[in-house]
Amino acid sequence: MGKIIFKEIKMTLDPESIQHAIDDVRNLNTDLQMALDALCESLLKDGVMIARLNLRRYFTKGDGANKGNLLRSIRYEMANGKSGEGYLMAGYPNDHMSDNPLYSNVSYAVFFEFGFGTSNHYRQDGSRINSSKAYNVLKSQGLVARSEGRTSDHPSKKGKYRPSKEYKMIENAQGGQFRGWVYKDRWTGKFYTVRGGQPPKPFMYNTLLDLMDKAQRNGADIIAEYLPGGGAY
Amino acid sequence: MIDYEVNVFDRVYRKVAPMCAKGKFVSVYVPDPTAFPAGSLMELTNRTVRKRQSSTPIENFAVVMYQLDIYAKTKAEARSVLNAADDEMISMGFTRVGGDYLDNSDNVNIFRYTARYEAEIDREGNIYRIS
């Protein structure tokens, strides 16, 4: 772990010297804020790459999310007006990006991290649900189409792609059963589903640990670059 | 590898299992629990603490993270199981770093509470809070 050496600020009781010292402290404060911003941004940039790598570790063949939408949603933002603060994010909390073909709907990111909970194969009383039968009933009502790998029968309205709303309809129709996320692969034009019954995959937690490790090892060097007269060892 | 998952799980199991449906508090992810309340406690992350390593060829400390999932038909049921498990984890020296009612994605009628705990464990199995 590196240590930071600060520039020495000396003063005598001479008013001019005191004023110099005050200016030096103010400059140091500004430099430190810039250094923290730089450190934060450097960590977040690395964080995006690390989070994507961590996420890839969990992908398996045939996994619907292996098409890049969740990967592409990993991004960072610096906090407005707050020095040395920023956010590393995955997915989108609401469906406001659902219409964006680039990002599609990745509100399931939190479920990737913490797990999807129980799958829909059993009712609360323990009896098994025939999900394919439920699916066919809904399909006959025009509420859903089997989306895996198909291009033509997705129930979009007015040519607009609204996956999560369609799935909420399914949820209501089945009294809380059968829920999932569907998105369109922008390269192939096919639809894929992300369904429940998956274990937690803590890609963001592991990224946090990686970044804490990185900050301890390299943080001092980055901060020292912004401190004239100072350094790190 | 510093591995005390069995010990940690066993201690929580003794307290929580009687409150869950028979055999439904487990240490692996089960996608289809057939009765509720059900729960799981799993060690998701186990990493060597780099700054506590020495030149000796052994691992001195590991940072571990556990995830606790409780599924129940009612919120009160979920909360009582959660409190029992949480008390046990905290008394062992873990810190709860997150806890939320998350949607149970496929069946929103089932209450789901998810909490995460982290701590450092040494080779002898002593648990330390992370400052």
What is the structure's pLDDT at A161? Answer: 39
**A142-146, A212-216, B75-79, B121-125: segment of lowest average pLDDT:** A142-146
User: A62 and chain B: CB distance < 8 Å anywhere?
Assistant: no
Q: Return the ∠ at Cα B126 (arms to B121 and B131), rounded to 5°.
A: 55
- Give the ipTM of the model, two decimals please: 0.87
Residue B59 has a pLDDT of 93
* Whole-number Å distance between alpha carbons of A204 and A50: 9
Q: Which two tokens stand for residue A117?
A: 């909970």
* Farthest CA pair distance, chain A: 89
pLDDT at A95: 46
Contact A138, A170 (CB under 8 A): yes
Residue A27 corresponds to which amino acid? N
Those of residues 6-45 in B touching chain A at CB distance below 8 A are 29-36, 38, 42, 44-45
Q: Find the mean pLDDT for residues A201-228.
A: 87
DSSP string, B27-73: SS--S--SSSSEEEEEEEEEEE-GGG--SSSS--EEEEEEEEEEEES
- Cα B69 from Cα A156, distance rounded (Å): 35
The Cα–Cα gap between A125 and B91 comes to 34
State the first-to-last Cα distance of chain B, in angstroms, to the nearest integer. Answer: 23
Closest alpha carbon within chain A to B29: A199
Average pLDDT estimate for B47-67: 91
Chain B neighbors of A179, CB-CB under 8 A: 105-108
Separation in Å, CA of A69 to nearest CA in chain B: 19
State which of A100-104, A107-111, B110-114 shows the largest mean pLDDT.
B110-114
At residue A203, the pLDDT reads 87
Would you state the pLDDT for residue B45?
Answer: 92
What residues of B are in contact with residue A126 (Cβ under 8 Å)?
A: 34-35
B28 to chain A: nearest residue by CA?
A199
For A120-133, the pLDDT digits (tens) are: 554 444 454 444 54
Nearest to B83 by CA among B34, B3, B18, B15: B15
User: What pLDDT is stored for residue A228 in this prediction?
Assistant: 74
Query: Given its phi and psi angles, is residue B42 left (phi above 0), alpha (psi -120 to 50 degrees) or beta?
Result: beta
Average pLDDT along chain A? 68
Scan residues 48-87 of B and list those with Cβ closer than 8 Å to A. 50-51, 63, 65, 67, 69, 71, 73
How many other CB atoms are there within 10 angstroms of residue A3's CB atom? 9
Mean pLDDT calculated for residue range A127-151: 46
Q: What contacts A58, CB < 8 A, 6 or more positions away?
A: A112, A201, A203
Tokens 């005598």 label which residue?
Answer: A12
For B36, which residue in chain A has the nearest alpha carbon?
A: A124
Please name the residue ranges forming H helices in chain A. Answer: 15-58, 69-73, 109-114, 131-140, 163-173, 203-225
H/E element holding A191? strand A191-195
Instruction: Answer whether A149's CB lies under 8 Å from A190's CB.
Output: yes
Please name the fold of domain B5-128.
Answer: Alpha-Beta Plaits (3.30.70)
Distance of CA B118 to the CA centre of its chain: 9
Kindly state whether A195 is in contact with chain B, defined as any CB-CB distance less than 8 angstroms: yes
Interface subset of A 144-173, CB within 8 angstroms of B: 171
In chain B, domain spans:
5-128
What percent of chain A is modeled with pLDDT above 90? 10
Distance of CA B29 to the CA centre of its chain: 12
| C-alpha–C-alpha distance, residues B78 and B87, integer Å | 14
